[in-house]
Amino acid sequence: MNFEDMQKAWQSHNASAKVLIDADALLKEVRHNQRHFRAMIFWRDAREVGLCVVVGLLFLHWAIRDHAWFLYLLILACAGVGSFMVVDRLIQRRKQPVANESLKTCIEVSLLQVNHQIWLLKNVVWWYLLPFAPGLAIATGVSVWRSRHVALVVAGGCVYLVLVVLLYWGVYWLNQYAVRRTLAPRQQELETLLASLE
């Protein structure tokens, strides 16, 4: 069988012949999906930024209540990280792939986005973990300094420090795991696709 025969069979076959479509139900479903899609994007952004706001407000409450000036460093870190997330999201939103672009453009834009995500996660130490480090270190130091039971607080401080280090390591590891597991394969897939178009 040559290609022309295949083409003839293909074109004489009507893909929609065996499908009945309920247009009203379909429209309802598409609108539902659109709402779901928008809600998903909104809540993803709100969750990330909201967490910074809530934690920042908590620190503010404690700072005012206990006159703990060093907590303002943590509030500043929350504000910085939250602002970075908002600005980054706004910039990236402008670079969203548009489904009606050509396949090549769509792949290029998707690849840029994946590369940016990988950059963010690989550098999570600098923009997410490090801004909190001075505040946490000073908070621990001041607590130890203010206490009269030095031995007890030093022990508590050590445990606290270990927990902070473990938390930092956990956050970092999770982010690198996400890069290896999800983003790097996607990056490779997109690069392969792009290479096949060039």
Partner 1 sequence: MTAQEQEAIFRRWLDAHLGLMLKVVRACAAGQQDQDDLFQDVLLQIWLSIPAFRGEAKETTWIYRVAFNTALAWRRGERRRREGHEIFLKSDVSPQVQASHVEALAEREIVEKLYAAIRQLPKVDASLALMHLDGLSYEEMAEVLGISENYIGVKLNRIRQQLADQLKGETDEL
Minimum gap (Å) between residue 67 Cβ and partner 1? 51
Nearer to partner 1, 73 or 114 (CB): 114
Q: Which residues of the shown chain bind partner 1 in the complex (CB under 8 A)?
A: 1-3, 6-7, 9-23, 25-34, 36-37, 97-107, 110, 192-193, 196-198
Nearer to partner 1, 96 or 123 (CB): 96
The answer to whether residues 109 and 101 touch, using CB atoms and an 8 Å cutoff, is yes
Minimum distance of partner 1 from residue 30's CB (angstroms): 5
Rounded distance between C-alpha atoms, residue 65 and residue 57, angstroms: 12
Burial track 4-39 (b if 16+ CB lie within 10 A, e otherwise): eeeeeeeeeeeeeeeeeeeeeeeeeeeeeeeeeeee
Residue 60 vs 191, nearer CB to partner 1 = 191
Minimum CB separation of residue 39 from partner 1 in Å reads 13
| Shortest distance (Å) from residue 150 CB to partner 1 | 55
161: nearest Cα among 181, 138, 179? 138
